[in-house]
């Protein structure tokens, strides 16, 4: 089986202190840097930060935070989860991540996507009516930029490029890139057509239901005459000493986050039964190191993954609990998963 790499993702959720009081966004951002330093020290393969433009998440500029992390880490890959390419300029995004690649000595990676929220579109002056074309054209342009040669490109959402180049050039010849997909077959095929590794964002339901997407991607790669490329999964979870500890510690924070998002989207409040069901049969990797490792191993085997990223931040959980989750994931979960996959 292909070697599997393991990462951690965070959206920089606004947290609370031990006293239950909200922590300022500036401190949350500094805490995210510290969490990445712990992950690097303990041997986690990758650390990803999501881009959001809302009050419940502190990070709107992941590349800046990742640059700070690069200066304090040595080996961990540094990426996004995701970069909302549809409401940004691909040329500037490529420049930023080529610069991050230089600062980190080749450890930069980016996951392109449309994001789970739409606040960035009006914030940066884009019409949501252009949602699909913005995504398709900007991902295509970014794919062209990855070659780091002269680019000629023309679309409808920005000015054309005529044999222009983007600087700085990376030492490896291109920024490592994934395409984040939530459940659109068209996006899966687009990733194969452009030759970009696929990152499946599985945030609910049985992970096995995404097997057809992984299979579709591999078939499409073959039809486009491309070699096999990695498939990864990003899913939420939390690790504590025991199953009961993990469930009890996470639930109030998970519910607070989901209910806040649900109010914006017209969803009913999350019940304890729904939470427990998602842990038991869905894509919520919560429990002891043994439980979480077994569930991750099943997902890796079912989907044929090369990468699994645990989104360890889920609501306003205090920094010290998040650090403990990172420690257990790095020192107990990952080694267990590797042993299970080798068995």
71 vs 37: CA distance, rounded Å: 10
Reference 148, options 94, 106, 102; nearest CA is 94
Tokens describing residue 92: 């500037």
> Which residues lie closer than 8 Å to 105 by C-beta, 6 or more apart?
none
Domain chopping of the chain, boundaries: 5-342
Q: What is the pLDDT, as a whole number, of residue 132?
A: 94
pLDDT at 184 over 70: yes
**pLDDT tens per residue, range 213-267:** 999 999 999 999 999 999 999 999 999 999 999 999 999 999 999 999 888 888 8
**pLDDT tens per residue, range 4-59:** 999 999 999 999 998 999 999 999 999 999 999 999 999 999 999 999 999 999 99
Tokens describing residue 325: 């989750």
pLDDT at 88 over 80: yes
Average pLDDT over residues 72-95: 98
183 vs 200: CA distance, rounded Å: 8
Average pLDDT of the chain is: 97
128 vs 130: CA distance, rounded Å: 5
334 vs 115: CA distance, rounded Å: 27
Q: What is the pLDDT, as a whole number, of residue 249?
A: 98
Q: What is the pLDDT, as a whole number, of residue 266?
A: 86
Beta strands 151-153 and 161-164 are antiparallel
Beta bridge partners of 113: 84
Beta bridge partners of 237: 285
DSSP string over 256-308:
HHHHHHHHHHTPPPPPHHHHHHHHHHSS-EEE-HHHHHHHHHHHHHHHT-SEE
Q: What is the pLDDT, as a whole number, of residue 150?
A: 98
Q: What is the pLDDT, as a whole number, of residue 27?
A: 98
Beta bridge partners of 153: 161
Tokens describing residue 292: 């979480």
From the number of C-beta atoms within 10 Å of its C-beta (0-12, 13-18, 19+), residue 295 rates as buried
Decide if 239 contacts 246 (C-beta within 8 A). yes
pLDDT at 1 over 70: no
- Assigned CATH for 5-342: 3.20.20.30
Average pLDDT over residues 183-206: 96
Q: Confidence class of residue 79 from pLDDT cuts 50, 70 and 90?
A: very high
Decide if 236 contacts 246 (C-beta within 8 A). no
Q: What is the pLDDT, as a whole number, of residue 115?
A: 81
Where in the chain does DSSP place strands (E)?
5-10, 46-49, 77-80, 83-84, 109-113, 151-153, 161-164, 176-181, 198-201, 231-239, 285-287, 307-311
pLDDT at 188 over 70: yes
Q: What is the pLDDT, as a whole number, of residue 18?
A: 86
pTM, entire model: 0.97
Average pLDDT over residues 284-299: 98
Give the residue, 154 or 1, on which the prediction is more confident. 154
Average pLDDT over residues 125-132: 95
Q: Confidence class of residue 183 from pLDDT cuts 50, 70 and 90?
A: confident
């Amino acid at each position: 089986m292909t070697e599997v790499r393991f990462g951690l993702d965070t959206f920089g959720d606004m947290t609370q202190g031990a006293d239950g009081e909200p922590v300022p966004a500036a401190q949350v951002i500094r805490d995210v840097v510290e969490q990445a330093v712990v992950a690097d020290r303990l041997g986690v393969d990758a650390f990803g930060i999501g881009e959001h433009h809302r009050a419940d998440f502190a990070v709107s500029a992941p590349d800046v935070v990742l640059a700070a992390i690069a200066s304090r880490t040595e080996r961990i890959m540094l990426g996004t989860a995701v970069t909302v390419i549809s409401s940004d300029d691909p040329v500037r995004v490529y420049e930023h991540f080529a610069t991050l690649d230089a600062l980190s000595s080749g450890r930069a990676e980016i996951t392109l996507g449309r994001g789970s929220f739409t606040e960035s579109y009006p914030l940066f002056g884009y019409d949501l009516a252009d949602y699909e074309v913005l995504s398709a054209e900007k991902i295509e342009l970014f794919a062209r930029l990855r070659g780091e040669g002269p680019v000629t490109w023309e679309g409808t959402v920005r000015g054309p490029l005529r044999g222009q180049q983007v600087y700085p050039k990376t030492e490896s010849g291109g920024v490592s890139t994934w395409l984040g997909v939530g459940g659109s077959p068209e996006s899966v095929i687009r990733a194969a057509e452009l030759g970009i590794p696929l990152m499946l964002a599985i945030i609910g339901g049985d992970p096995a239901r995404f097997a057809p997407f992984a299979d579709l991607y591999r078939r499409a790669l073959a039809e486009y005459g491309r070699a096999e490329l990695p498939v990864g999964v990003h899913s939420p979870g939390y690790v504590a000493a025991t199953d009961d500890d993990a469930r009890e510690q996470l639930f109030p924070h998970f519910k607070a986050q989901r209910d806040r998002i649900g109010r914006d989207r017209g969803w009913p409040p999350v019940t304890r039964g729904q939470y427990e069901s998602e842990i038991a049969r869905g894509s919520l990797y919560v429990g002891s190191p043994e439980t979480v490792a077994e569930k991750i191993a099943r997902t890796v085997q079912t989907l044929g993954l090369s990468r699994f990223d645990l989104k360890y931040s889920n609501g306003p959980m205090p920094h010290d609990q998040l650090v403990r989750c990172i420690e257990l994931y790095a020192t107990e979960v990952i080694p267990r998963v590797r042993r299970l996959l080798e068995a």
